[in-house]
Structure 1
Amino acid sequence: MNILLAEDDERLGELVSHMLNRKAGYRVEWVMSGRDAYDYATASHYDILLLDWMMPDGDGIHTCRKLRKTGYQGAILMLTAKDSLKDRVDGLDAGADDYLVKPFELEELLARIRALTRRNYAPLIQEVMPIGSLTLDRNSFTVQREGESIQLTPREFQLLDLLAANQGQVLTRELMLDRIWGYDADVSAKIVDATVKLLRKKLETFGLEEMIQSVRGVGYKLEN
């Protein structure tokens, strides 16, 4: 299960992400702002978003409402110290599916996560995706054009997959680095540029090297 945790308290964020991974085997990505929570949630698939109410760049209610307005259908669990009836109503009205008051026990958090996944809020992922004249298959991790395969490394495939899932949108190097290599990976954003260069070289064989466009000083986007 993939979980996105948005929590600005460094100690709590480390504890929750570590325990969810170690005790439940969940894959957890941790961000520390509402803006990053929005960017990550809209850039990839997560089974559940654990969203802190109060963050440096605004409250989680704003992020939750913004996600729902864009059609986000994933499960959202609000984490907050606010426990009044009005606060709970505000959270649910903003689009949250559940509400957990701090401090909380890990076992209760796990139970809430299990309950939300049983409700099947998460949207289905398209396993075979057309990208112009290409076909990307997430089951076999292959990319083909008119029956001919393009041999990609796992990182190259992940990078193309991420860009394809967000066609026309500019993705920053930092976001791509976090999504593919992990936020705690001991590599720099230059690895993104190097991987894009290798991927373009392979696409060049089919005259598709211009599919991945550079956005100066920001990152990359994919255009058919």
Structure 2
Amino acid sequence: MHVLVVEDDAETADYICSSLRALGHVTDLATDGKAGFLLGLDGNFDVMVVDRMLPGLDGLAMVKAIRASGVDTPVLFLSALGGLDDRVTGLEAGADDYLVKPFAFSELSARLTALARRPPIQAEQTRLTVGDLTVDLLKHSVTRAGEDIPLQPREFRLLSVLMKNADRVVTRTMLLEDVWDFHFDPQTNVVETHISRLRNKIDKPFDAPLIHTVRGAGYSIHV
């Protein structure tokens, strides 16, 4: 791992850095918030360890600035401030974990390893396309072959679930949960009715159907 340590206490900083290096990790050290912010902007670190009480720019302000700059490197706050409100404030500032001083290095190491293993957050797709059908999740608009298709809110939600799972089978149970928030089978044909309405709007006016029934399994949307 490549770890950025932002800590103004020389003894604590040396302990963390030397212990991490002994495990084979690469560490960079900043002793104040401004230096930590500038180093952190590079985004070349796997994880950051940030003390909350820093000179120049405190840890909270530093992490907020890092996040506002678009850097998503995992951050672990290390602080003597261990109250519930302190931890909540740290996490709300953009940290991913919070460890209270005094601490055991084994726990610090384990937490950093866990943070570094987390997959990067993927930007949520806001525009879904299957063939000539496009759904814009932000504008709540649907077009096919360049034609606008007005949908009711429930129909739009149903189509969005199908589009997000394009080329895969979506079961009736999945649709009941994702579209209607039902965690039981209401023993009605509500899914079938809305699928029929969607087909009338999405498929019927056009040459090729996109919504397909997979008998005994559910539905799938594909070219």
Q: TM-score, normalised by structure 2?
A: 0.53
Kindly provide the amino acid, as one letter, of the partner of residue 17 in structure 1. Answer: C
Contact 2:79–2:100 (Cα < 8 Å) also in 1: yes
Contact 1:8–1:33 (Cα < 8 Å) also in 2: yes
How many residue pairs were aligned? 122
Name 1:19's counterpart in structure 2: 19
Name 1:93's counterpart in structure 2: 92
Matches within 5 A, 1:124-143: none
Structure 1: 5+ residue runs without aligned partners? 124-224
Contact 2:43–2:71 (Cα < 8 Å) also in 1: no
Contact 2:43–2:73 (Cα < 8 Å) also in 1: no
Aligned with 2:41: secondary structure?
A: helix
Offset of 1:18 from its aligned partner?
Answer: 0.3
Offset of 1:44 from its aligned partner?
Answer: 4.6
Deviations 1:63-122 (A, max 9, x none): 001111111111000000001110001000000000000010110001101111221348
Matches within 5 A, 1:15-164: 15-22=15-22, 24-121=23-120
Name 2:135's counterpart in structure 1: none
Aligned with 1:54: secondary structure?
A: coil
Give, in whole Å, the separation in 2 of the partners of 1:10 and 1:44.
24
Give, in whole Å, the separation in 1 of the partners of 2:115 and 2:35.
23
Q: Does the C-alpha gap of structure 1 residues 109 and 122 become closer, same or farther in structure 2, counting only changes over 3 Å?
A: farther
Contact 1:49–1:77 (Cα < 8 Å) also in 2: yes
Contact 1:74–1:122 (Cα < 8 Å) also in 2: no
Kindly provide the amino acid, as one letter, of the partner of residue 113 in structure 1. Answer: L
Give, in whole Å, the separation in 2 of the partners of 1:43 and 1:107.
28
Aligned with 1:46: secondary structure?
A: coil
Kindly provide the amino acid, as one letter, of the partner of residue 67 in structure 1. Answer: I
- 1:4 paired to 2:4: yes
Give, in whole Å, the separation in 2 of the partners of 1:87 and 1:112.
19
Offset of 1:43 from its aligned partner?
Answer: 2.5
Structure 2: 5+ residue runs without aligned partners? 123-223
Give, in whole Å, the separation in 2 of the partners of 1:122 and 1:113.
17
Kindly provide the amino acid, as one letter, of the partner of residue 27 in structure 1. Answer: V
In the TM superposition, structure 1's runs of 4+ consecutive aligned residues that sit over 2 Å from their partners are: 120-123
CA RMSD of aligned residues (A): 1.4
Contact 2:3–2:45 (Cα < 8 Å) also in 1: yes
Aligned with 2:5: secondary structure?
A: strand
Contact 1:46–1:122 (Cα < 8 Å) also in 2: no
Identify which of structures 1 and 2 has the higher relative contact order when contacts are C-alpha pairs closer than 8 Å and 6+ apart.
1
Kindly provide the amino acid, as one letter, of the partner of residue 29 in structure 1. Answer: D
Contact 1:75–1:121 (Cα < 8 Å) also in 2: no
Give, in whole Å, the separation in 1 of the partners of 2:114 and 2:16.
18
